[in-house]
């Protein structure tokens, strides 16, 4: 082993550049794989992870309080693994409809403790309730709400929000002490169950039948239904992350395979010499395995650290809404990469090393490191007759001398360009969706007149918290219309409304005036033209099971208004409903606008406008249009950018390695060419051209591949894809995002990757000393 180690160490030192390239490619590849697998693992089952971590309830059952004494006994019934409860249930509503910042009427559960055998609620801000008059809201970590707010209740009195907690099982809107729930007149009790069999809806039904036999059951909630709601949220980015993860793996494996096999092939002569010295075939193989695996181990370790550092925040962003406590890259991903990447390198090295092992020493020595002659005679011959500069035509023929190596390099470029194409397409689609959902124009400003329902106002620092219009709705609109530079005003009011028959609260926006400039784009159907008509988001349809043309009923403070769904808008907000002012008048007569969207003359003086508004009514506030970039869009765009840079970098490193190997093998040829008068610039041009040609081919193949993948991803991630909702067609604006200049530029990304990778070794080749090169043979 000593002889093997000594020779391997010497080989590593002698081929320092190659060693460094192997280390760097493996480093970047390992980091990419860690991120890709981390994102895949986290996005594949965030709900399941969170549910397991919290020992979430498979079944939440609500019983009439009359049976409260018998409920604890249900924990021993057939099929029940664990149970918690009974907890008293009560409804609570803020005096101001949106006072809690989450919904009109909340279902508050009386629990003394967030822990327990089932549904271990995570308190992520503030503390758990300790006495009467305190409440903890159920919100996912990161929600823009802070504890400390005192909320006046509709029925009199007030409560203080002392903490924010999250139950992935969604067993409550809020929690209070049991005594508080009882004091609010609780008439129902909640039991939470973990079931032995819970994989299917039928399992849950059997469990429900088991626990409710002989008891006054009022209603149940299956964790499968909750999971379905979460999955819809995750569905937007999971296909995207899956594809990026797969691309990352493919590029990394291809680059490492190309790199390592090239290194071993380049060392054939060395292998022959070692055999001639008396090294056994196995010892020779061991030398080469050590030589390529040593830098791979170092690269892998660095890559895992880098992947954890960079990938952790991405994973956290991707799954933060699920309330998963441990949101970093899973440990098994690190372990798999630490073991798998060096193993991959060893396996890839083993294949050519086995070939070398079988070769007699003399043959290995004479094979040397040059490719066999006449591999590319026809191509070179054809190219020599063209009008291209000779350095260019020579360069274009180089890849044909090593077709396998060139194919691997081109494949890495293909995937690199496909990644760039996909990333550009996804970014354009996300941007197109955002622009369609939240059209903002440069000459538009928002004027806030009240805290809209569903929008939390977080204390005195929140500019919305002090909104108190001094004038009436009509007068405020008149003030705005009279302000300098105003072309048009649209009033809107945002309310939290329930649908009759459901327990979900929906954000409904009502518009007054011509809303065409400010409303989301209509995807299917039409924009509501009169009272009793609404447009909804596709997610609303998925969530409620309703379809375009159906009629449903809005309910607010006991008042009900039937509405027909006449349009579907491009908006990614769950439960979003949009209607006319007439509908609002029917539902909540006398409501005032909570905001005005004002269109200004492009040349208008905004400061003068703001001054006029403040002078007319100091209680309303001019704000810039709110940014429409959702956290999902941020995750997608930032992941796309990061992975594109990484994958493009790996592909460029693959090209770099290929050029290093090619120029080393063709050292004598380069010396000859220089000796007959090839200038350094021509040498650089020849070497760069040799890869630019591959890059262009890679670009031309990678572009359509990336476009196809983009279509697949957009179809999979589109907010609606259910044929029974009559909206199975993904809007063209999300698919047709590649314009002509983009289509021309994207294949050039392949050339860019190739040139980037080839430039440094090409310049190095150009500076090579001719005499030394000619002696090298």
Partner 1 sequence: MHSDIAGGPIGEVVVGLTDVRKEYSDSVALDGVSLEIRAGEAVAVMGPSGSGKSTLLNLVAGLDRPTSGSVAVHGEDLGRLSETGLALFRRRRIGMVFQFFNLLDDLPALDNVALAAQLTGTKAPQARRRALELLDELGVAGRRDTYPAQLSGGERQRVAVARALVNRPALLLADEPTGALDSRSGEQVMDLLLDLNQIGQTLLLVTHDQRLATRCASRVVEVVDGRIARESAVARS
Residues forming the site for partner 1 (CB under 8 A)? 370, 373-377, 380-381, 384-387, 390-391, 394, 397, 401, 668-669, 671-682, 766-767, 769-771, 774, 777
- φ and ψ at residue 19, rounded to 5 degrees: -60, -45
Give ∠ CA 327-332-335 in degrees, rounded to 5: 125
Question: What is the rounded distance in angstroms from the CA atom of residue 537 to the CA atom of residue 416?
Answer: 35
Nearer to partner 1, 375 or 606 (CB): 375
Nearer to partner 1, 183 or 770 (CB): 770
Considering the complex, what minimum distance in angstroms separates the CB of residue 704 from partner 1?
32
- φ and ψ at residue 222, rounded to 5 degrees: -90, 145
Tokens for 243?
């594809």
Considering the complex, what minimum distance in angstroms separates the CB of residue 401 from partner 1?
7
Considering the complex, what minimum distance in angstroms separates the CB of residue 389 from partner 1?
8
Nearer to partner 1, 623 or 679 (CB): 679
Nearer to partner 1, 703 or 773 (CB): 773
Considering the complex, what minimum distance in angstroms separates the CB of residue 374 from partner 1?
5
Nearer to partner 1, 71 or 376 (CB): 376
Question: What is the rounded distance in angstroms from the CA atom of residue 646 to the CA atom of residue 651?
Answer: 9
> Which residues, at least 6 apart from 392, have a Cβ–Cβ distance to it below 8 Å?
685, 686, 689
Strands 444-448 and 595-600, bridge-based pairing: antiparallel
342 contacts 29 by C-beta, under 8 angstroms: no
Considering the complex, what minimum distance in angstroms separates the CB of residue 377 from partner 1?
6
3-state secondary structure of 139: coil
Strands 522-525 and 559-569, bridge-based pairing: antiparallel
Q: Residues 567-605, buried b or exposed e (16+ Cβ, 10 A)? A: bbbbbbbbbbbbbbbbbbebbbeebbbbbbbbbbeeebe
287 membership: H or E segment, kind and range: helix 281-319
β-pair partners for 508: 495, 577
Considering the complex, what minimum distance in angstroms separates the CB of residue 423 from partner 1?
38
Considering the complex, what minimum distance in angstroms separates the CB of residue 315 from partner 1?
50
Nearer to partner 1, 177 or 658 (CB): 658
Considering the complex, what minimum distance in angstroms separates the CB of residue 384 from partner 1?
5
CA-based torsion, 583, 584, 585, 586: positive or negative? positive
Question: What is the rounded distance in angstroms from the CA atom of residue 271 to the CA atom of residue 519?
Answer: 71
Nearer to partner 1, 62 or 686 (CB): 686
Nearer to partner 1, 759 or 766 (CB): 766
Tokens for 578?
């949009």
530 membership: H or E segment, kind and range: none
Nearer to partner 1, 13 or 214 (CB): 13
Nearer to partner 1, 161 or 401 (CB): 401
3-state secondary structure of 503: coil
Eight-state DSSP code of residue 321: G
Considering the complex, what minimum distance in angstroms separates the CB of residue 382 from partner 1?
11
Tokens for 391?
């350095």
Considering the complex, what minimum distance in angstroms separates the CB of residue 30 from partner 1?
37
Nearer to partner 1, 172 or 376 (CB): 376
Considering the complex, what minimum distance in angstroms separates the CB of residue 675 from partner 1?
6
Nearer to partner 1, 506 or 674 (CB): 674
Nearer to partner 1, 466 or 777 (CB): 777
Q: Where are the beta strands (DSSP E) in 211-268?
A: 217-222
Considering the complex, what minimum distance in angstroms separates the CB of residue 654 from partner 1?
23
3-state secondary structure of 519: coil
CB atoms under 10 Å from CB of 130, counted, come to: 11
Eight-state DSSP code of residue 531: T
Query: SS3 helix, strand, coil % of the chain, rounded to 5?
Result: 55, 15, 30
Question: What is the rounded distance in angstroms from the CA atom of residue 421 to the CA atom of residue 733?
Answer: 17
In angstroms, the Cα distances linking 13 to 10, 16, 291, 300 are 5, 5, 10, 19
3-state secondary structure of 134: strand
Question: What is the rounded distance in angstroms from the CA atom of residue 479 to the CA atom of residue 213?
Answer: 64
Nearer to partner 1, 378 or 559 (CB): 378
Nearer to partner 1, 44 or 768 (CB): 768
Give me the count of residues in the chain: 777
Nearer to partner 1, 528 or 671 (CB): 671
3-state secondary structure of 360: coil
Q: Which residue, among 604, 617, 563, 314, has the nearest Cα to 449 in the 3D structure? A: 617
**Looking only at Cα atoms, what is the longest distance across the chain?**
103
Tokens for 482?
């009279």
Question: What is the rounded distance in angstroms from the CA atom of residue 717 to the CA atom of residue 241?
Answer: 10
Considering the complex, what minimum distance in angstroms separates the CB of residue 379 from partner 1?
9
Question: What is the rounded distance in angstroms from the CA atom of residue 92 to the CA atom of residue 182?
Answer: 12
Considering the complex, what minimum distance in angstroms separates the CB of residue 754 from partner 1?
21
- Residue 125 CA to its chain's centroid (Å): 25
- Residue 103 CA to its chain's centroid (Å): 28
543 contacts 473 by C-beta, under 8 angstroms: no
Considering the complex, what minimum distance in angstroms separates the CB of residue 378 from partner 1?
10
Considering the complex, what minimum distance in angstroms separates the CB of residue 676 from partner 1?
4
Nearer to partner 1, 377 or 618 (CB): 377
β-pair partners for 486: 600
Question: What is the rounded distance in angstroms from the CA atom of residue 367 to the CA atom of residue 671?
Answer: 20
Nearer to partner 1, 280 or 679 (CB): 679
Considering the complex, what minimum distance in angstroms separates the CB of residue 705 from partner 1?
31
């Amino acid at each position: 082993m000593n002889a093997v180690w000594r020779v391997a160490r010497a080989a590593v030192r002698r081929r320092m550049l190659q060693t460094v390239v192997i280390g760097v490619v493996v480093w970047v590849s390992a980091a990419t794989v860690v991120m890709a697998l981390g994102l895949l693992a986290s996005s594949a089952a965030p709900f399941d992870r969170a549910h397991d971590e919290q020992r979430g309830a498979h079944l939440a059952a609500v019983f009439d309080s009359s049976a409260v004494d018998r409920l604890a006994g249900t924990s021993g019934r057939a099929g029940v693994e664990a149970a918690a409860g009974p907890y008293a249930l009560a409804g609570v509503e803020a005096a101001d409809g949106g006072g809690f910042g989450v919904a009109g009427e909340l279902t508050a559960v009386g629990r003394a403790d967030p822990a327990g055998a089932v549904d271990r609620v995570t308190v992520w801000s503030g503390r758990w309730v300790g006495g009467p008059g305190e409440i903890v809201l159920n919100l996912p970590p990161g929600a823009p709400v802070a504890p400390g707010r005192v909320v006046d209740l509709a029925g009199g009195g007030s409560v203080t929000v002392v903490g924010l907690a999250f139950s992935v099982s969604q067993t409550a809107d809020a929690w209070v002490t049991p005594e508080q729930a009882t004091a609010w007149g609780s008439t129902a009790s909640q039991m939470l169950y973990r079931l032995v069999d819970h994989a299917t809806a039928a399992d849950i039904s059997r469990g429900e039948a088991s626990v409710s036999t002989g008891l006054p059951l009022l209603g149940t909630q299956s964790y499968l239904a909750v999971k379905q709601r979460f999955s819809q949220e995750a569905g937007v980015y999971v296909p995207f992350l899956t594809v990026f993860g797969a691309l990352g793996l493919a590029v990394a494996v291809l680059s490492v395979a190309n790199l390592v096999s090239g290194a071993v092939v380049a060392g054939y002569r060395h292998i022959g010499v070692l055999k001639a010295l008396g090294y056994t075939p196995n010892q020779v193989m061991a030398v080469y395995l050590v030589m390529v695996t040593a830098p791979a181990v170092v690269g892998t370790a660095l890559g895992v650290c880098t992947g954890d550092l960079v990938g952790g925040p991405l994973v956290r962003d991707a799954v933060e809404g699920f309330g998963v406590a441990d949101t970093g890259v899973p440990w098994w991903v690190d372990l798999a990469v630490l073991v798998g990447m060096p193993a991959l390198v060893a396996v890839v090295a083993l294949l050519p090393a086995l070939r070398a092992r079988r070769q007699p020493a003399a043959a290995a020595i004479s094979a040397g490191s040059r490719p066999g002659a006449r591999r590319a005679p026809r191509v070179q011959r054809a190219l020599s007759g063209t009008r291209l500069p000779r350095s260019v035509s020579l360069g274009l023929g180089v890849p044909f001398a090593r077709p396998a190596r060139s194919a691997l390099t081109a494949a890495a470029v293909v995937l690199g360009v496909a990644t760039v194409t996909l990333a550009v397409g996804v970014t354009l689609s996300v941007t197109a969706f955002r622009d369609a959902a939240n059209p903002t124009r440069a000459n538009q400003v928002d004027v806030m007149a009240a805290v809209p329902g569903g929008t939390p106002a977080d204390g005195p620092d929140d500019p919305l918290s002090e909104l108190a219009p001094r004038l009436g709705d009509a007068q405020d609109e008149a003030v705005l219309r009279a302000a300098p530079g105003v072309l048009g005003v649209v009033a809107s009011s945002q309310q939290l409304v329930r649908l009759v028959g459901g327990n979900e609260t929906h954000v409904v926006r009502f518009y007054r005036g011509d809303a065409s400039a400010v409303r989301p784009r209509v995807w299917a159907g039409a924009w509501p033209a009169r009272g009793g008509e609404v447009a909804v988001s596709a997610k609303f349809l998925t969530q409620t099971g309703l379809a375009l043309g159906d009629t449903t009923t809005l309910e607010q403070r006991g008042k009900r208004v039937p509405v027909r769904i006449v349009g579907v808008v491009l908006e990614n907000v769950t439960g979003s409903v949009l209607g006319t002012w007439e509908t609002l008048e029917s539902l909540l007569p006398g409501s005032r606008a909570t905001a005005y969207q004002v269109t200004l003359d492009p040349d208008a003086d905004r400061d003068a406008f703001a001054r006029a508004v403040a002078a007319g009514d100091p209680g309303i506030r001019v704000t810039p249009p709110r940014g429409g970039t959702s956290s999902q869009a941020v995750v997608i765009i930032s992941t796309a950018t990061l992975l594109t840079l990484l994958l493009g970098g790996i592909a460029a490193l693959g090209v770099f390695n290929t050029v290093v190997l090619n120029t080393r093998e063709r050292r004598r040829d380069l010396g000859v060419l220089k000796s007959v008068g090839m200038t350094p610039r021509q040498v650089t041009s020849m070497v760069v051209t040799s890869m630019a040609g591959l890059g262009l081919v890679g670009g031309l193949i990678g572009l359509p591949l990336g476009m196809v993948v983009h279509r697949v991803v957009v179809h999979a991630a589109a907010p609606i894809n259910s044929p029974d909702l009559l909206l199975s067609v993904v809007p063209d604006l999300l698919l047709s995002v590649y314009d002509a200049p983009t289509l021309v530029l994207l294949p050039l990304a392949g050339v860019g990757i190739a040139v980037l990778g080839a430039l440094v070794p090409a310049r190095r080749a150009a500076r090579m000393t001719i005499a030394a090169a000619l002696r090298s043979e």
